[in-house]
Amino acid sequence: MEKNQNGLDDSAIDVPISLPKEVVKRVNALKNIQLKMVNIETKFYEELHHLECRYAAMYEPLYEEREKIVTGVHEPSEEEGKWALDEELAKDLEKKATITEAPESPEAADVKGIPEFWLHAMKSTEIIGEAIQEHDEPILKHLRDVRVKLHDQKPFGYTLEFVFDENEFFTNNVLTKTYELTTDKDDKDPFGYDGPALYKSIGCKIDWKPEKDVSVKLVKKKQKHKSSGTIRVVTKEEKQDSFFNFFESPTPDGIRPSYRHILDPSYTPKEENEEQDEEDEELYEADFEIGHFFKEFLIPKAVLYYTGELVDESSYDDEEYDDEEEDDGEEHGENSEDDDEEEDDEEETKSKGKKSAKKHPKA
């Protein structure tokens, strides 16, 4: 009979354990201790968020310097443009970059800052790049900066700010996406506490100029009159894929379905809404993943994505790959059919295990 990692029979895991009254009392005492530990953990994460806010303020002047260089407001001096790293290390890093120095030309003298810096950096990542459509690119060329502002008071969380130059597409100077997170435990499931969790996502209204909304397309449809049978052609707007759909809230109130009962203890989900809630939960997972990527990776390390020195790890599978094993297989011939089947089963099990172990970032 197969045993799990604890040496127990899997079939016996869900079987209730019968214990004497005194032992049950001791187990309850341990659970009370566990609850105290959870309460300490919630305070730890709250203080950790305040610490993150303190250090975020230290980054602000550096982000401002970066924006000035990207937009051409500040031209770095020869000294500023020299590598601060060891010369040999600098050469090794430059080999990883996808940018090269072009020959001097008269046109280069008119270039200010780093054109299309954010567009190129975002397209260099899989998670954001695949959301950018061809019709989005002319707009994103006007993107001058992307910032993150942490909230140091409850509700904790952060706001992403996308700063645009004046453009022909919309009148907004800044587009925002705000995420709220809680460090509190769920009183109905305190032992399920697993740190801070994002529970709310609020987008912003984009004030599109006439006929410039790239998130919709015009579609002509035929309509038949019910009584007369005459047919007419009408033009309707339909949603289409666009990076700018990111600025919509996943639900009308922005609240994540699985957290409604935490925010409102009296909330009881209706059966007819269960399917919709599941779809909304999936939307939230994708939405939070993108927001988290901006905050933790793209904003602080934008130049490395721009140069190609930082690789988006989501572009690669988690499955292990061993050159030696492949070479060995080619040298000694194919395994027997039974061995092949066993290896396939083993690899499939490993792959499934890794995929199920993946966890969405909480905050």
State the pLDDT at residue 22.
Answer: 92
Q: Half-sphere exposure of 145 toward its Cβ, with a 13 Å CA cutoff? A: 21
Task: Flag the least confident range among 9-18, 30-39, 46-55, 94-103.
Answer: 9-18
If we measure between CA atoms, which residue out of 69, 94, 100, 104 comes closest to residue 304? 94
Type of residue numbered 272? E
pLDDT-derived band at 108, boundaries 50, 70, 90: low
Collect all residues with Cβ–Cβ distance below 8 Å to 250 and sequence separation of at least 6: 201, 256, 280, 283, 284, 287
Per residue in 115-138, pLDDT tens? 999 999 999 999 999 999 999 999
- The span from the CA of 45 to the CA of 182, in Å, is 10
The rounded distance, in Å, linking the Cα atoms of 82 and 85 is: 9
What does pLDDT average to over the chain? 81
Q: Is the pLDDT of residue 162 over 60?
A: yes
Domains recognised in the chain with CATH numbers: 19-76+113-319 (3.30.1120.90)
pLDDT of residue 9: 52
Rounded average pLDDT over 329-338: 45
What does pTM read for this prediction? Answer: 0.75
